[in-house]
Structure 1
């Protein structure tokens, strides 16, 4: 599961991909004067810039996200990559706890500029890898508490988190922290599943329940919620009825087949308006032919060309996160 929260105006429209639909409001990001004045190695830039594979071997060094510098907190950062390595909330195949580690390893393939959109995020934002939430692999509720407390600190630093999961349970405590700062937010949710169950096997917290819990607690602006790529057999004739009843826009996978998603994303952009938006991309939104490492595969999903990443499951995740970084406010475009 990959996600980010934006709370500022988007300066450029990129509507050919699901990741570029978020559009949010108000003040420009600020990094600390210390970070702004520090000249980074390999680039001569005042920002953190990943070392180029033209000069530094990809297989060398500590595998941080995109080979960016590591720092312990979000202080002074415009955006931060953070891992939440849990799969305690999953009901099918485990293994997502290793997601952040694998994504970081594959992210060595990333480069500094987006050749499709001409975005150059490392020339305009201070970004670093701040490591992982110290989760409790034996206690899901305690893990949610730890996630919530970590994200409170990230949000209080004025930093936008770019999250590597981890199963989809993590969305609930993250949105609790986001809601404390921004109030109800819009949601762009790309997934095979709606994740709106009230209870699974007697438990109210798990990877199939986060958005039900978020609605219960008033964390979502339900008129600004869209779920894209939903599919598969359900427990009832219309498994997405509850979502529609809340005011969510539901776009099932078959509505995305054999077509450009640019018109859809233009509509989603208009629906999001100028308020804060949270983007959540579950890797099973993609067809499992392209991302077989998911815990709950559903056939007939989205294709990489519709969401702009490519590769195996971890490499796809790394590219998705790079695309999210590229559409943050104040990113430089050539």
Structure 2
């Protein structure tokens, strides 16, 4: 049984206490007994259209109090195998992206040095560059599984290099991603030029559009992902605009005709056997959310990420 686990909502009502992810203890110092830490990165200075995802971590945490320790689909009680905490929020500097990168990276360094797996709640997708910088110090260039409506491999926005649409190009240029083990899934929507998606492929990533996902199906997509990623440390990044805006209206750059929440959860659940060393869920924008649909989806995606860690831990001990 993990040292740190959620409060029991059959003994303490969900509306009581400080809002932490899944009602986990708030522990803001790294300890060797912690397997994973959920933390916020409330930065939205990289957004190109709607702003407000700095409030995303708060919104995800608010809905997450409904999550329970036993994952029915995966048939596992997470905290039979894991000790986890809410680590609070990483420090950022509103309006200053490079300074925020430095603070996010520094905050993650101490977590990773303690052997803790981070699960970061965004914030916009620009934050992932800082996460990968920190993770690469410990694990070297990592494999990438990236669910998103956009490849985020543009070279610049408004003549500037750092933005939520340039994250993965910068990460590849900095040698943070092993592109031979990198895959992006879900791209769709209008583009600036015919070759925009080819840019990601030319950088070395495998890329599958939403139409291709729908054509080949989820089971085959999971096979492709696992074949691509293989062995070795891997990072999983989930942008909520991967989902159709019917299921995730609260996001900065929505694209129609996307997957359902059920399909997205099937994809994340199916990523068993991959050596994940870090995760994030980004681009939740509460001001445009409706009935907390987006926050609900994001919280459940993060829950399935934790489940992947529990399944991996169980496989090692049994």
Question: TM-score, normalization: structure 2?
Answer: 0.87
Equivalent residue for 1:314, pick from 284, 289, 295: 295
The 2-side partners of 1:164 and 1:74 are apart by 18
Shift of 1:188: 0.3
The 5 Å alignment of 1:12-23 reads none
Shift of 1:159: 0.5
- Give the structure 1 partner of residue 306 of structure 2: 325
The 1-side partners of 2:96 and 2:167 are apart by 17
Equivalent residue for 1:151, pick from 105, 108, 112: 108
- Give the structure 2 partner of residue 290 of structure 1: 247
SS of corresponding position for 1:224? strand
Shift of 1:331: 4.1
What per-residue deviation string (whole Å, max 9, x for no partner) do you get for residues 209-266 of structure 1? 1101011111111111110000111111132111111221111001122764012112
The 5 Å alignment of 1:1-334 reads 45-76=1-32, 77-257=34-214, 260-308=217-265, 312-328=293-309, 329-331=312-314
The answer to whether the 8 Å contact 2:2/2:79 transfers is no
What per-residue deviation string (whole Å, max 9, x for no partner) do you get for residues 33-56 of structure 1? xxxxxxxxxxxx553221232222
Larger helix fraction of residues: 2
Query: 5+ unaligned residues in a row in structure 2: which ranges?
Result: 267-290
The answer to whether the 8 Å contact 1:200/1:208 transfers is yes
SS of corresponding position for 1:176? helix
The 2-side partners of 1:82 and 1:186 are apart by 22
The 2-side partners of 1:129 and 1:139 are apart by 25
The answer to whether the 8 Å contact 2:189/2:256 transfers is yes
What per-residue deviation string (whole Å, max 9, x for no partner) do you get for residues 18-71 of structure 1? xxxxxxxxxxxxxxxxxxxxxxxxxxx553221232222111111111001011
Task: Flag the structure with more relative contact order, 1 or 2, with Cα contacts below 8 A and sequence separation at least 6.
Answer: 1
CA RMSD of aligned residues (A): 1.8
Query: 5+ unaligned residues in a row in structure 1: which ranges?
Result: 1-44
The 1-side partners of 2:178 and 2:106 are apart by 23
Shift of 1:311: 6.7
- Give the structure 2 partner of residue 40 of structure 1: none
The answer to whether the 8 Å contact 1:47/1:124 transfers is no
SS of corresponding position for 1:290? coil
The 2-side partners of 1:245 and 1:203 are apart by 21
In structure 2, relative to structure 1, the CA distance for the partners of 1:253 and 1:319 (3 Å cut) is: same
SS of corresponding position for 2:106? helix
Question: TM-score, normalization: structure 1?
Answer: 0.83
In structure 2, relative to structure 1, the CA distance for the partners of 1:177 and 1:206 (3 Å cut) is: same
What per-residue deviation string (whole Å, max 9, x for no partner) do you get for residues 157-212 of structure 1? 11000010000000101101111111111000000000011111121111001101
The 2-side partners of 1:290 and 1:60 are apart by 28
Higher mean C-alpha deviation, range 64-73 or range 311-320: 311-320
Shift of 1:272: 1.1
Higher mean C-alpha deviation, range 71-80 or range 303-312: 303-312
